[in-house]
Amino acid sequence: MPLPRQVFIAVIGAGGVGRCFLKQLHYLASHLCRDSSAPTYLSLILLSTSKKCLRNPDYRSLHLDTWEQDLAASSTAPLSPEELAEYLAHAPNKVVLVDNTSNQALADAYPLFLHKGISIVTPNKKAFSSNYDLWKSIFSAASNGNGHGGGYVFHESSVGAGLPVICTLKELVETGDEVRKIEGVFSGTMSFLFNSFMPVGGGGGPFSAEVKKAKELGYTEPDPRDDLNGLDVARKLTILARIAGLEVESPTSFPVQSLIPKELEGCKSGDEFLERLGEFDGKMEELKKQAAAEGKVVRFVGSVDVAKKEVKVGLEKFDASHPIAALKGSDNIISFYTKRYGDNPLIIQGAGAGGEVTAMGVTADLIKVLRLLH
Amino acid sequence: MPLPRQVFIAVIGAGGVGRCFLKQLHYLASHLCRDSSAPTYLSLILLSTSKKCLRNPDYRSLHLDTWEQDLAASSTAPLSPEELAEYLAHAPNKVVLVDNTSNQALADAYPLFLHKGISIVTPNKKAFSSNYDLWKSIFSAASNGNGHGGGYVFHESSVGAGLPVICTLKELVETGDEVRKIEGVFSGTMSFLFNSFMPVGGGGGPFSAEVKKAKELGYTEPDPRDDLNGLDVARKLTILARIAGLEVESPTSFPVQSLIPKELEGCKSGDEFLERLGEFDGKMEELKKQAAAEGKVVRFVGSVDVAKKEVKVGLEKFDASHPIAALKGSDNIISFYTKRYGDNPLIIQGAGAGGEVTAMGVTADLIKVLRLLH
C-alpha cells in the first residue's frame, strides 16, 4: 500500500495559458486527493508573473480558488531564475515547475532547475528551439526515464498545443521506426489566414484585409508581424527536427519565408505595418491566381525532410483534395511519413492554439511527471 | 547515479504481430543497454505460442536473434495462464507480460497477473471489451499511477493499432475535458472495403467482388465473416466508450449492424459464404445509389455519443467532403469531439492494422512501463 504523498507545484505566468492551466490544476488536485488507494496532494507553493510573486512562508499552500485576488494584493517582486531554483530546491517535497511564459531567461535556466531535481512542464518554445547547446544542456540534465525520481522535463504544448504531436514523434523514434518526413500547418494564425484568403472552392478577400480580420478576431499576436515573419513556425519545426535526430543549430539556420514585404521591414509599429500592407495585395493575389490555375490552393507550411536533413518554412501549393488544403478554421495538421506507415502518413489534426487546449497539454505533461515521481 | 537494472519480458504469441514485436524488442533491448547513464537490460525469459513454449532453467535469457529456430526445436508444452502467473511471480526481477494473442482465457487471467505485480502490455481486445466485470477486475488490480512499482497495464494497440488513440482519449478525460462524441472508421478491413466499393468520385465493383479482392490482398481475416459481422469494431467502441466513462456491459449490448445477410448466417464455411454473397449485391448497390443521389458515400463507422450514452456500429452516409469519406487504403480515422476542441474535432488518422504498426503500439507501451518500473 503506497503512502499518501505531496507534490509541490510552482507556476510562472498567469496570462491566457496560465489562467486556463490554474483552472485545470484546481480540477486535477481535487480529483487526485480523492483517489482512495493512493491519494496525491498537489500543493501550489508559488505563483509568479513578470511583475509579482505570491508565496507563503515555509512553502505553505496557496489557494487555488482565490489566486487572482491574492496575486493582485501581493506586493512581492518576482524572483530571478537563480533565486527561484534555490528556493524550490530547498522545498521539503518534490517540485514541478510549470513555466507558462515564453520567457528566454527562464528557459536558459532549465538545466539549473533540472540539475537540482526540479521537474519542468511547459509550452515555452524558447527552451527547445533556441541554440542547440541549450537543447543539449537541458536533455543531459534531465533524467527522463532514468529513474532519479526528479528532474523530468516535458513540453508537449510547445508544438500543436494539446495535440499529441511530440509524444507521437518520440514513440516513432524510440520504437525504431524510420521517420522520413514531417509536414504540416503548425500555426493557428497562418491556418486561419490562408483558409480565409484562399478557401477551397474560391472566395476570400485581399490579403491585408484578411490579416486585419484575423487580428480583430484575436487570431494573431498583438503585433501581427510576430506571426507573419514565420519564426513561430520555424521554432516548432526546430523542435520536431531535433527530436527526429537532426542537429538543427537554431530556428534561423534554415530557410524561413517571411510574409513581411522587404519594403515594410522598417515599419516602426504593427499599426503602421497593417496600414501599408495593402500596397502588396497585388503580389499575394498573383500567387493565388497562379495556384488556382493549377487547381491548387496556397498554404503556409513547414516540413522536415529527415533523410535530406532539410528543414523549411514557407508558402506552398496543394491540390484541393490534399488534407492540408481541406483544413478548417485555425486548425493545425501534422503528417508523419515513416517507414512503417508507408505512403499514407500518420496524421494528427485539430486546434493547435488557444488557452484551454494549450493548458491541456501542460496538465497532461504534469500527470506524466506525477506518475514518474514515485 | 541509478544502478543498472534488469527487467524480464515474457512474450505470448508469435504470429503477425508477435514476430514484428520480437524484432522491435531486439532493437529496443540493444539500445537501452547502451544508455550509459542508466542502462536497462531487457531479458526475454519466456516465449510461447498456443502449441509450444520456450524457456531456460533459472529464468536465464533466451536469444532474441535465434528465437524462431529455438522455438521450432522446443518440445515443451505451453503453460496454462495460472501456471504462467505462478512461474513469472517467482522471477527474481520485475516482469512484463506481452500478450500478442487474441486469447480470451489469457485475458481472463489478467487480474491474477496484475495482483502478483506482473505488468501487462497487449493489443488483445478481449480483455477490455468482454463483460464489464472483467474490465473492473483488471483496473482495480492494476496499479497504473499508484507507484507500486509493478502491475501496470497498457493496451494502446487494442484500438487503431499504433495510432495514439487510447492515450489521447485518456488525457482528454484526465485533464478534465468533456468528451462529447467519438466517431470514426475503426477497421482497416472495412476501410479498404468501402474505399474500394464506393470511392469518392465514383467507381467500384460489386460488393461481393470487393470482399473477395480484400481477402486475396490479405486485408480480411481468414474467414471474412469475422470482419463483416462488425464485432471487431464493436469491441473497439466498447473500449473507447468505457474509457470515456460509459459502463458498457459488452460489445453485444448496443446496436451493431452485421454485413452478413440473414439468409447466409447458416453458411458452414467462409468459402460457402463468399460463393453466395453475390446473391445480395443488389441490396448493396441500392444503398450505393441512394447515397450517390444525395452526393454522399457509404462508410462502415462506429460512434460513441457520451451525453446520450449511445454506442453504435454500422453503415452511414457521409458528404464527399467529410474527412471520413476522403480516407485512403485501409486507414483508420478517429475524431474526438470535446468541449475544449469545439466544432472542429481532434482527429487522428493513419494505418490502424498491420503487424509493424500494431507491434509499435505494444513496444511504446513497454517503454512506458519501463519508465514506471523504477
Among B94, B212, B215, B236, the one annotated catalytic: B236
Residue A202 has pLDDT above 50, yes or no: yes
Helices (H), chain A: 16-32, 67-73, 81-89, 104-108, 110-115, 126-129, 132-141, 166-174, 188-197, 207-216, 225-228, 231-243, 270-277, 281-293, 355-372
**What digits encode the pLDDT tens for the residues A237-278?**
999 999 999 999 999 999 999 999 999 999 999 999 999 999
What is the mean pLDDT of the segment spanning B24-51?
91
Instruction: Check CB contact under 8 Å for A374 and B149.
Output: yes
Cell of A269: 509599429
Residue B35 has pLDDT above 80, yes or no: no
What is residue B1's predicted lDDT score, i.e. its pLDDT?
Answer: 39
B189 touches chain A (CB under 8 A): no
**What digits encode the pLDDT tens for the residues A62-107?**
999 999 999 999 999 999 999 999 999 999 999 999 999 999 999 9
Residues contacting residue B201 through CB under 8 Å, at least 6 positions apart: B320
A355 touches chain B (CB under 8 A): no
Residue B3 has pLDDT above 70, yes or no: no
**What digits encode the pLDDT tens for the residues A224-244?**
999 999 999 999 999 999 999
What is residue A150's predicted lDDT score, i.e. its pLDDT?
Answer: 82
Instruction: Name the CA dihedral angle for B371, B372, B373, B374, rounded to a multiple of 10 degrees.
Output: 80
Residue A193 has pLDDT above 60, yes or no: yes
B288 is catalytic: no
The mean of the pLDDT values for chain B is 94
Within this chain, domains A6-161+357-373 and A166-352 share the same CATH topology: no
Whole-angstrom distance, CA of residue A315 vs CA of residue B246: 45
What is residue A218's predicted lDDT score, i.e. its pLDDT?
Answer: 86
Cell of A79: 524572483
What is the assigned CATH class of domain B6-161+357-373? alpha beta
Whole-angstrom distance, CA of residue A111 vs CA of residue B351: 38
Does 3.30.1360.40 match the CATH number of domain A166-352? no
Whole-angstrom distance, CA of residue B80 vs CA of residue B145: 29
What is residue B215's predicted lDDT score, i.e. its pLDDT?
Answer: 92
Residue ranges per structural domain of chain B: 6-161+357-373, 166-352
Residue B11 has pLDDT above 80, yes or no: yes
Longest CA span, chain B: 70
**What digits encode the pLDDT tens for the residues A52-70?**
999 999 999 999 999 999 9
Segment holding B128, helix H or strand E: helix B126-129
A-B contacts at Cβ under 8 angstroms: 146
What is residue A3's predicted lDDT score, i.e. its pLDDT?
Answer: 54
| Closest among A186, A234, A199, A235 to A335, alpha carbons compared | A186
| Closest among B129, B18, B33, B66 to B363, alpha carbons compared | B18
CB < 8 Å from B in window 36-65 of A:
37-38
Q: In chain A, what residues touch B114 (CB-CB under 8 Å)?
A: none
**Least confident segment among A152-166, B24-38, B154-168:** B24-38
| Closest among A261, A258, A253 to A237, alpha carbons compared | A253
Of residues B37, B323, B350, nearest to A341 (C-beta): B350
Cell of A111: 538545466
Whole-angstrom distance, CA of residue A130 vs CA of residue A250: 5
**What digits encode the pLDDT tens for the residues B270-324?**
999 999 999 999 999 999 999 999 999 999 999 999 999 999 999 999 998 888 9
Of residues A147, A343, A346, nearest to B163 (C-beta): A346
**What digits encode the pLDDT tens for the residues B247-273?**
999 999 999 999 999 999 999 999 999
**Mutate which of B26, B30, B165, B175 to test chain A, going by most A C-beta atoms within 10 A?**
B175
A334 touches chain B (CB under 8 A): no
Residue B91 has pLDDT above 90, yes or no: yes
Q: Give the global pTM.
A: 0.96
Residue B236 has pLDDT above 70, yes or no: yes
Instruction: Check CB contact under 8 Å for A145 and B371.
Output: yes
Is A206:A346 a contact under the CB 8 Å cutoff? no
